[in-house]
Amino acid sequence: MARTSPEVREFTVSAEESGTRVDFFLTRRLPEWSRSQLQRLIRAGLVTIGARAARKAGEEVKAGDRVSVRLEPREVSAAPECLPLAIVYEDADLVVVNKPAGMVVHVGAGVKSGTLVNALLHHIATLSTAGGESRPGIVHRLDKMTSGLVIVAKNDNAHRALAGQFKGRDVHKTYMLLVHGRVTKDAGEIAVPVGRDPVRRVRMGVGGIRPREALTRYRVLRRFPHFTLLEAEPRTGRTHQIRVHFSSLGHPIVGDTLYGAPGKLRIGGREVKTLARSFLHASAIEFRHPRTNAETSLRAPLPGELEDFLRLLTAEDR
């Protein structure tokens, strides 16, 4: 059982956020905390607006207000579990695994078991602690319904070196994805800022709250009558970046109903349910080894369920 350290966070209310309830305001700024958790902090007097404690969750904030919140430690379970772990590469400093779709990377609010961290704790003797006690070894993440390569650090020196490469955009990640519709350009770039959706906090969107620059490069691998298979490289690491970018072009990823993909498809003259996961797979990763500085390149083939779906489309295309 691990506990996160106490932390005080402070935010300034923007003009567009003026008039928002303080609990809504904090929910948008702290998406990893639920609204009910934040309301408990307000009732406990741990949220201040300016120099005084917030009176109630429904109190409205105004432009320019400084809102502070003391985030009390939350216990997070991270116990070893005997779960399958597909190891692609391993040495004394790191391990690279091929995460399946449907597996969350680490424990968190509402998720106590079945994660990649639970599996790592069972299979790997030592993991870095530089990312926090609840995220041992985790240098970067993949979405739950995305499969593919994840680098895990075994010690803190490796963790810091790898994290520095991610921050410096020196790690190259390649994804394979299938989107709805026919993408007309053979290759291109999508340079659209990505921020938090102001209404649905589980989503990101073009613009949104506190948007940050985002760049995705892509090339077409194959076109089907109603779908396009692509390879994409995100040059920035924004949450849901590839999903948001292709959805913004009117080409949502197959299976990604959160970003506009339909729940039913018409293939071979019949209507079928869409994939139970997103057709998004982190197929390749290139980085410098944290100890030797050697260029390291690894690949992971498409999972069987995605290969089967492509075969279905290929048969229809004949």
Bridge partners of residue 123, in order along the sequence: none
Active site residue 143: yes
> Residue 159: enclosing H or E segment and its boundaries?
helix 156-167
Q: Using alpha carbons, select from 69, 67, 62 the residue that is nearest to residue 38.
A: 69
CA separation for the pair 110, 113 (Å, rounded):
9
Among the options 23, 65, 143, 197, which is catalytic?
143
214: its two tokens: 């985002």
CA separation for the pair 42, 54 (Å, rounded):
6
Bridge partners of residue 8, in order along the sequence: 70
Burial of residue 34 (number of CB atoms within 10 Å: 0-12, 13-18, 19+): middle
Do the Cβ atoms of 121 and 127 come closer than 8 Å?
yes
Token pair 């040059």 is found at: 235
Do the Cβ atoms of 180 and 254 come closer than 8 Å?
yes
Q: Using alpha carbons, select from 258, 262, 222, 214 the residue that is nearest to residue 239.
A: 214
Do the Cβ atoms of 41 and 69 come closer than 8 Å?
yes
> Residue 316: enclosing H or E segment and its boundaries?
helix 304-317
Q: Using alpha carbons, select from 221, 238, 239 the residue that is nearest to residue 230.
A: 221
Bridge partners of residue 67, in order along the sequence: 11, 49
Residues with Cβ within 8 Å of residue 293, at least 6 apart in sequence: none
CA separation for the pair 282, 301 (Å, rounded):
9
Return the active site residues: 143
